[in-house]
Structure 1
Amino acid sequence: MSPAVHYWNYPTEIFCGADALDLLGQRCRLLNMGRPLLVTDPGMLTLEPFNLLVAQLHRAGLPVAVFSELGANPSLEDVQRGVVAFQSGEHDSLIALGGGSAMDAAKGIALAACDPEGLERFEWSQIIERYPSLSDFPALGLPPLIALPTTAGTGSELGREAVLTDTRLHVKRVISHPQLLPACVILDPQLTRSLPPALTAATGMDALTHHLEAFCSPLYHPMSSGIAVEGIRLVSQHLRQAYANGQDLVAREGMLVASAMAAVAFQKGLGGVHALAHPLGARYHKHHGLLNAILLPYVLVANQPVINADIARLARYLELPQPDFRGFLDWVLALRAELGIPHSLGEIGLDTADADWVGAQAVADISSSETNAQPLNAEQYRTIFCNAVHGVLPGVRP
């Protein structure tokens, strides 16, 4: 293994660094992956990361079969088509290449291929009381999955969840099982260097949102809190440079690490940003990271009464010139502006016609709303949404 490649096992095997992709064939052999199904989105098929990965599979003597019938927000129907491809091709494993869409779809395919009822049995609202700890879940013997992210935002490569759209109800379902965690993760910054600036910005802000919401969650999980603090520092250090120069592999690697860390951090929970972004993404088919990026300051302001002290501590760690809530909020707003993120949801075509539905759906998204920094009701979520549509940030308290 190259000295430039770092090896970690936290919470699964991770190989991080330029040329980490060279280890793909070796890891496939060690995991007894003889006929992997490569899951990716259709836009990836003509891009550098896909070509690099296929070359590695050819070099390893592994057959290349591709499933790419995915939407930007993968649906339950996408997964079922993937199951047909997995079973008809007699595949024994999966490789996910791409952003959160590919990762979540591959996890869903692995689960549904082994358990036809799994997407319902392990939906978030079903598992909370049935499986209070990871050891309570039944062992399913899911096929091994290797994850290779080409964006630095979702952190899905280190998560035990898959977020899939229910197109009938226009909502996102969070599916969770400990065996959805990939057996191996390869973080190679060369796979992200062709990511366009706008997507670099949106996915990077997604990673920041994951860390911030985990940090502000009221649950007690000091290990995740510590990871969140350092993850936010890495975003502050690398995101601007990755956006300005996509060929900067140091910045790209820093963001890949920050993104992956976020999935470990949000074991502590997410919050109101995701509670709003999930239904908005399912209904309006907007990019998840972009929605998070726009919504973030509005939820921060709504939560200010209970996060003031924590955010001030975070601002001191980041060595901001004004180490308090106001200074941190200004840093977030300035970062968004530098990255070309719109200030309001109205700028991406949303209006308040469905505001009541949005508020109700945010509360119903218990995978996120129940760990917001403070309890919020449907009317409060409705107000936050309307503020975000109109670009109105209420006055910040001293």
Structure 2
Amino acid sequence: MSLVGNWSYPTAIKFGAGRINELPEACAQAGITNPLLVTDKGLADLPVTAQTRDIMDAAGLGRAMFSEVDPNPNETNLDAGVAAYKAGGHDGVIAFGGGSGLDLGKMVAFMVGQTRPVWDFEDVGDWWTRADADAIAPIVAVPTTAGTGSEVGRASVITNSETHVKKIIFHPKVLPSVVICDPELTVGMPKFITAGTGLDAFAHCVEAFSSPHYHPMSQGIALEGMRLVIENLPRAYADGTDIEARANMMSAAAMGATAFQKGLGAIHAMSHPIGAVFNTHHGTTNAVCMPAVLDLNAPAIADRFDRAGSYIGVPGGFDGFRTFVQDFNDSFGIPRKLSEMGVAENRLDDLVTMALDDPSCGGNPIPLTRDTLRRLFEAAI
């Protein structure tokens, strides 16, 4: 089966190995003639980035790049990116990389024409309507990991560097106009990034599948996304050059982010503050939190996982799935406790307060309270 396609769900996606070479066409499709490539510090000097800038340059698009992007991007990175965009006279953004590069690239395109601070556009109620939609620059997204799915998302996560709180900034036009999903770009990922990002995609699918909200399309996507991760992450982890497994993981990442339109839950409500305070890797944090959250949510989700087991290839109903999740984490060397990642109990009160304020709380199948969140953090730490 050929793993190549042109899709329009939820946006235009050029999927397939080698399709980074179509970047000039993607920019033309988005109406970009002078792009700024936005990526993170870790990717800036890697061959995959140099190759992409060579493709831009050969097509007359220049090779301008902004890479002052932290692993958990913040408003300082954003201000610098907007300044670089304006200084270069750019007319669009190529958001390139994992979650941090994609999220910040999208925000540079969003904020370059706004007059209000970024925090005024948090994903609260209809705050997004405060933005000048006509001033949002076009975006082409190019993921180099298979995890966050930010390439098909209408929001970015930005950390407030003063309060150490992660905020979700939302606008429908933050959804990239064109996405290039080229699994060859993920071949060079180290094993721990392959695992951490892949388990992020898995968490998105599990939480969307568990959410109590009504969204049958997302429910089906989440189910297939779980199956793809379960079958392909071990292959991609064992052999990073397995293009079929890399392609299926790239699909699963986009599917997870599409599915969580249905909602996220306690896993993300916990991992957002943990990442903001302790600067942990997001996907790995999700993986460590998942077993405790499954235990809490069991009364509300056991039936649906009982039905899903035969399809996703995990026998034993919900109890079998719960056991599988811990074994799955262990197989990738994921820590069993957050304390192994430097998370300390002395910030427990702060973490609970921040988690309660996180919009992901609303998608958890068991209502989250200060008491339930405290117990979750204690179990995970």
**TM bucket, shorter chain:** over 0.9
Question: 5 Å matches for 1:68-83?
Answer: 68-83=67-82
Q: Could you tell me the TM-score, scaled by structure 1's length?
A: 0.93
Per the alignment, residue 45 of structure 1 pairs with 44
Residue identity in the other structure for 1:79: L
Answering whether residue 176 of structure 2 is matched by residue 182 of structure 1, we say yes
Q: 2:179 aligns to what SS in structure 1?
A: strand
1:392 paired residue number: none
AA at the equivalent of 2:348: A
CA drift of 1:49 comes to 1.6
> Structure 1 stretches of 5 or more lacking a match?
390-398
In the alignment, which of 325, 336, 342 is matched to residue 349 of structure 1? 342
Which residue, out of 327, 332, 335, partners 2:328?
335
**CA distance in 2: counterparts of 1:161 and 1:118, whole angstroms:** 16
2:272 is aligned to: 278
CA distance in 1, matches of 2:108, 2:115: 10
- Please state how far the C-alpha of 1:114 moved relative to its aligned partner: 1.2
Distance of 2:3 and 2:352 partners within structure 1: 47
State the alpha-carbon separation in 1 of the partners of residues 236 and 3 from structure 2: 19
One-letter identity of the residue aligned with 1:160: R
Give the TM-score taking structure 2 as reference length.
Answer: 0.97
CA distance in 1, matches of 2:47, 2:165: 33
Aligned to 2:369: 377
Q: Give the drift of 1:88.
A: 1.1
Shift of 1:295: 0.5
1:62 aligned counterpart, secondary structure: coil
Moved more, 154-163 or 40-49: 40-49
Query: 1:362 — aligned with what?
Result: 355
Preserved contact between residue 294 and residue 388 of structure 1 (Cα < 8 Å): yes
Structure 1 residue matching 2:43: 3-state secondary structure: helix
Partner of 2:110: 111
State the alpha-carbon separation in 2 of the partners of residues 145 and 43 from structure 1: 21
Please provide the CA RMSD for this pair. Answer: 1.5
Q: How does 1:236-275 map to 2 (within 5 A)?
A: 236-275=230-269
Give a deviation string over 1:50-86, Cα, whole Å, max 9, x none: 0221121122121111101111000011101101001
Deviation at residue 137 of structure 1 after TM alignment? 7.6
For 1:30 and 1:192, the matched residues in 2 are separated by: 24
SS of the counterpart of 1:191?
A: helix
Q: How many residues align structurally?
A: 380
Deviations 1:176-206 (A, max 9, x none): 0000000111110110000000010000000
State the distance in 2 between where 1:369 and 1:320 align. 27
Q: Which residue of 1 aligns with 2:8?
A: 9
How far apart are the structure 2 equivalents of 1:168 and 1:139?
A: 28
Q: Which amino acid aligns with 1:370?
A: G
C-alpha deviation, 1:291, in angstroms: 0.5
Query: How far apart are 1:237 and its partner, in Å?
Result: 1.1
**Cα distance in 2 for residues equivalent to 1:33 and 1:257:** 26
My pick for the range that moved more, 258-267 or 306-315, is: 306-315
**Cα 1:240–1:369, aligned 2, differ >3 Å: closer, same or farther?**
same
2:227/2:313 contact within 8 Å kept: no
TM-superposed CA distance for 1:115, in Å, is: 0.8
For the 8 Å contact 1:359–1:380, the answer to whether it is kept is: no
**Distance in 2 (alpha carbons) for counterparts of 1:244 and 1:99:** 20
1:5/1:19 contact within 8 Å kept: no
The Cα of 1:251 is off from its aligned counterpart by 0.6
Q: Give the letter for the 2:175 counterpart.
A: L
Query: Does the CA-based 8 Å contact 1:48-1:191 persist in structure 2?
Result: no
Partner residue, 1:289: 283
Name the CA distance, whole Å, in 2 between partners of 1:300 and 1:262: 18
Partners of 2:68 and 2:323 lie apart in 1 by: 41
Does the CA-based 8 Å contact 1:38-1:96 persist in structure 2?
yes
The aligned amino acid for 2:334 is: I
Taking the aligned partners of 1:362 and 1:189, their CA distance within structure 2 comes to 34
TM-superposed deviation, 1:130: 5.2
After superposing on structure 2, the runs of 4+ consecutive aligned residues of structure 1 that deviate more than 6 Å are none
Q: Distance in 1 between matches of 2:30 and 2:198?
A: 31
Aligned to 2:141: 147
Q: Percent same amino acid among aligned pairs?
A: 42
Q: In the TM superposition, what are the counterparts of 1:181-260 in structure 2 within 5 Å?
A: 181-260=175-254
